Amino acid sequence: MSTGQLFSRTTQALFYNYKQSPVQRMLDFDFLCGREIPSVAGVINPGSEGFQKLFFGQEEIAVPVHGSIASACKHHPTADVFINFASFRSAFASTMDALKQPTIRVVAVIAEGVPEADAKKLIAYARANNKVVLGPATVGGIQAGAFKIGDTAGTLDNIIHCKLYRPGSVGFVSKSGGMSNEMYNVLARVTDGLYEGIAIGGDVYPGSTLSDHVLRFNNIPQIKMIVVLGELGGRDEYSLVEALQQRRVQKPVVAWVSGTCARLFKSEVQFGHAGAKSGGDMESAQAKNKALENAGAIVPTSFEGLEDIIKATYEKLVEKKVIVPVKDYTPPPVPEDLNSAIKSGKVRAPTHIVSTICDDRGEEPSYAGVAMSTIIEKEYGVGDVISLLWFKRSLPHYCTKFIEMCVMLCADHGPCVSGAHNTIVTARAGKDLVSSLVSGLLTIGPRFGGAIDDAARYFKDAYDRGLSPYDFVESMKKKGIRVPGIGHRIKSRDNRDKRVELLQRYARTHFPAVKYMEYAVTVETYTLSKANNLVMNVDGCIGSLFLDLLSSCAMFTQQEIDEIIDIGYLNGLFVLARSIGLIGHTFDQKRLKQPLYRHPWEDVLYAKYA
């Protein structure tokens, strides 16, 4: 392995299996370091294409998303680092795919628990092809002031506190990502800081070893001293011992192997990492520390003494002018995300949408303050849900029952009415459910099903002003307006609409008062004296009865009643109900596999104009 540094200020990476937080942290680190280009060139999400919106400082950027590793490498030939956030189950296949790409030089495998046989295959392929694998079970690595992998070094506050936004003079390598963060803090306190830090990973078979990176650090001129943090278990540290004995490392190496407390336990102890388990005296922390010290490494007597010995080693190098301490500076502030700023109370921002009928925050959604579990446990019906979502209150049972009756009675009126006809024609044209439904709904208006609001509006105005049926009808006639809710193409005095009779009977039995409906009946009596088909239709019946419902239940003010009618609540009831039938007609036509509809010539009047 050896050679020199892995990363630079122009290094770019491909990120596999998109995770927003680590990618954004990389970009925030870029901005903190003053990089000119983002360190994330592209994202790979198998089977997906497009882009992800992220921030590079104050600028919002679109990071390309590719569906395959090969495609990403082709589009970003200068991106030579592959950051693999795949699970341990799929990490092998994606890592091997990346290693086989000629443009990829370094692969970081974040997943813990990759099968050992798979890890060995990855290591063998990487070494045979002169590639570097960090991990498995790694947080990654960082070159201070230049590039970092994923969540390496933690939060921005920690990065600033550890002065990782600019390069220092120390190379650091460890198995543990968590302990790396602790050591970066130590290095910032007692030296001029980190130059490059690597966490090789805590699994039994890491893709690269401690000695691999120490030898590499030895070839980097900017690194003047090296700090190594090992752990009990395995024999990785002995390759470093061998390198020190062979004098292949000319720079001071401060080392400590954690896990000396293992001897206090009577039986073998498994520490946090898979590889942190002593398999014998040679693998104990004490044996490794002794071997490192004998080979020439600077080893403290305990972990508590590590900071002091690092400080002493650094100060000697400064005294010898081997190290010229890096001058510190204040990095630019990284803009805070709006959501976190709002949460912390630093800023306030206006909302874009107001909702008073439903709240989907918390453990379960609620309709007008009524929890979903309550709706189910108390066996609310569709009418109850409509009362909550439309009227923002729980109406009495007779009201919600009336609403349900309206929905059931208006759900369909056969295939010949305009809405159903449109839906049938659209469905037979091979269109989808939504298109077929919408084509039928678009016919609802003043001439078809949309007269409920107008019927309520005109009946209310006439009744409240005390107009007689004669004065009301004749005044409408003078204005050239047909009385909404009166008249039917099929029904007549002798063939009444059964739906109207059912609703009227229910209201007379259960409503406290039906003054508006009775007024509409007197209007009907007058209009029938003019023509046999000027009967009250279902629009007029629902419109007048809804007025009675709203006014007699004592739950609405007069202003609220007027607003309900003006907004179009009552037509909404017809739209909701008829959607059921239109969906049924769509399914019916598709189930019957009906062909494209063509209107017959004999049913068309081809008029010739002079």
Are 424 and 585 within 8 A, CB to CB?
Answer: yes
According to DSSP, the residues that pair with 231 across neighbouring strands are 258
Are 198 and 352 within 8 A, CB to CB?
Answer: no
* Secondary structure (H, E, C), 266-330: CCCCECCCCCCECCCHHHCHHHHHHHHHHHCCECCCCHHHHHHHHHHHHHHHHHCCCCCCCCCCC
Token pair 């609802």 in the structure block, residue? 444
Q: Which residues are catalytic?
A: 273
Amino acid in the structure at residue 563: E
Token pair 């045979």 in the structure block, residue? 128
Host H or E run for residue 173: strand 170-174
Q: Give the closest residue to 554 by CA, choosing from 356, 380, 367, 399.
A: 399
Angle (deg, nearest 10), helices 515-528 and 469-478: 70
What is the number of other CB atoms lying within 10 angstroms of the CB of residue 502? 15
* Structure token pair of residue 292: 């490192």
- How far apart, in whole angstroms, are the C-alpha atoms of residue 420 and residue 58? 53
Q: Give the closest residue to 325 by CA, choosing from 436, 396, 225.
A: 225
- How far apart, in whole angstroms, are the C-alpha atoms of residue 456 and residue 545? 8
- How far apart, in whole angstroms, are the C-alpha atoms of residue 119 and residue 135? 9
- How far apart, in whole angstroms, are the C-alpha atoms of residue 579 and residue 411? 7
My answer on whether omega of the bond before 136 falls inside 30° of 0, hence cis, is yes
Are 110 and 135 within 8 A, CB to CB?
Answer: yes
147-148 and 253-258 strand pairing:
unpaired
Residue 335 contacts by C-beta under 8 Å, 6 or more apart in sequence? 55, 57, 58
- How far apart, in whole angstroms, are the C-alpha atoms of residue 51 and residue 103? 22
According to DSSP, the residues that pair with 254 across neighbouring strands are 227, 298
225-231 and 170-174 strand pairing:
parallel
- How far apart, in whole angstroms, are the C-alpha atoms of residue 32 and residue 52? 21
Are 484 and 474 within 8 A, CB to CB?
Answer: no
Q: Is 507 left (phi over 0), alpha (psi -120 to 50) or beta?
A: alpha
Phi, psi of 259 (to 5 degrees): 110, 20
With H, G, I as helix, E, B as strand and everything else as coil, classify residue 141: strand
- DSSP class per residue in 163-213: TTTS--SEEEEES-HHHHHHHHHHHHHHSS-EEEEEE--SSSS-SS-HHHH
Taken as a whole, the chain contains a residue count of: 610
Are 593 and 462 within 8 A, CB to CB?
Answer: no
- How far apart, in whole angstroms, are the C-alpha atoms of residue 391 and residue 452? 17
Instruction: Identify the burial level of 62 via C-beta atoms within 10 angstroms of its C-beta, where 0-12 means exposed, 13-18 middle and 19 or more buried.
Output: exposed
